[in-house]
Amino acid sequence: MFIEPIIRNSKKGWIEVVCGSMFSGKTEELIRRLRRAQIANQKVEIYKPTTDTRYDENDVVSHNDNRIPSIPVANSQQILLLAGDVHVIGIDEAQFFDEEMPQVAAQLAVRGIRVIIAGLDMDFLGRPFGPMPNALAIADYVTKLHAICVVCGDIANYSYRKTISDATVLLGETDVYEPRCRTCYHL
């Protein structure tokens, strides 16, 4: 008796998360990984939330002006609708997406797509930020980056807000935020 083998998806997908505080190099690392995929002739798509307009409405841009074209989307479900026949999908500023973002990443990975997510793991109050905790929980690979504390020079993993505002989402750069270590953050 012949038993037909189960044919599995030969394209293997997975989820990578790059996280850390403000100024730790998350977007720079995302761009680096995406460019390496492009060098390997892999098809790449990059998405960012429409709310992130700090440097450019469309491009994903790092603090040192390294940039890559992206597609701004209003919610994570749009990524599923727009994702074409690609090998790699990058998602920047993932903390600003809705709570479904990790499930969207998981669905893409099941399709055989490598998904690279970059975002803040904590908000300015030091609390887990948006969908990032769930993205970290389901990730196959996690990279936590650190900035340098502007007060003492140690490694920094907190985003200290220098302005007074209770809003969880407040776009800004060095005028609004600075990286701090645990000790200097709590001063």
Catalytic (active-site) positions: 93
Cβ proximity of 131 and 99 under 8 Å? yes
Query: Is-contact 49 60, C-beta < 8 A?
Result: no
d(CA 117, CA 17): 5
Bridge partners, residue 49, by sequence = 73
Q: Are strands 158-161 and 177-180 parallel, antiparallel or unpaired?
A: antiparallel
The answer to whether residues 181 and 168 touch, using CB atoms and an 8 Å cutoff, is: no
